[in-house]
Amino acid sequence: MIPDSLLDEAIKDTTGQSVGVDLMKAIKMSKQGIGVDSIVNTLGTDMSGWNRFRFRQSVRVVRSEPAEILQQFLNNLPITILVLQPFFALLLWMIYVRNRKRFHYIGHLVFSTYFHATVLIVMIPFLIVYNLTDWYALWLVVLVFFLVYLLLALKSFYKQGWGKTVLKFIIVISTYGLVMVPVVLIVAFMVGLFFV
């Protein structure tokens, strides 16, 4: 939940009437228990389909508990991973430049598919244990497992020395992390818009 003081400051600091101000007002009104349709009618701004939909989604997110938002994110994780597979394969194709005669893009895509399938398969027992225990350190254990698995998989699949493999592993992880965070947020946003 967003504190009222933060909403008041955001409304005061914004100059002029804009959708941002209206959104802040809508969030504040929703916290007071006013219905979404009443909020939309009260604001009196352009309530075309997109703005009305955005207000509804914003109010829904503000009224949600953090556990519900996390659950929604976990529900959308398979779709996110499906979207990320071609990007991961493209990243591998760009990093393993000298292996292009041996591995075309499809070979990297197959590796990406196997890696992400392993991630999803390992996530099943992890989520079962996590739901039973609420042990937050389990996230760290799973993250370390995926990193070690990726390093060993790169070494095994591309058959390069440890020095090159570790260097390329660091490049892959840092680049994939920079790409993954925005893509996860965008996919979660899009899935939340259209499939919830």
**Residue where the block lists tokens 């600091």:** 13
pTM of the model: 0.64
Residue 6: the pLDDT is 44
Residue 155: the pLDDT is 95
Tokens linked to 194: 């259209």
Q: How far is residue 152's CA from residue 141's CA, in Å, rounded to a whole number?
A: 17
How many H-runs (helices) and E-runs (strands) does the chain carry?
A: 9, 0
State the CB neighbour count (10 A cutoff) for residue 116.
18
Q: How far is residue 6's CA from residue 144's CA, in Å, rounded to a whole number?
A: 37
Low-confidence ranges of the chain (pLDDT < 50): 1-2, 6-19, 195-196
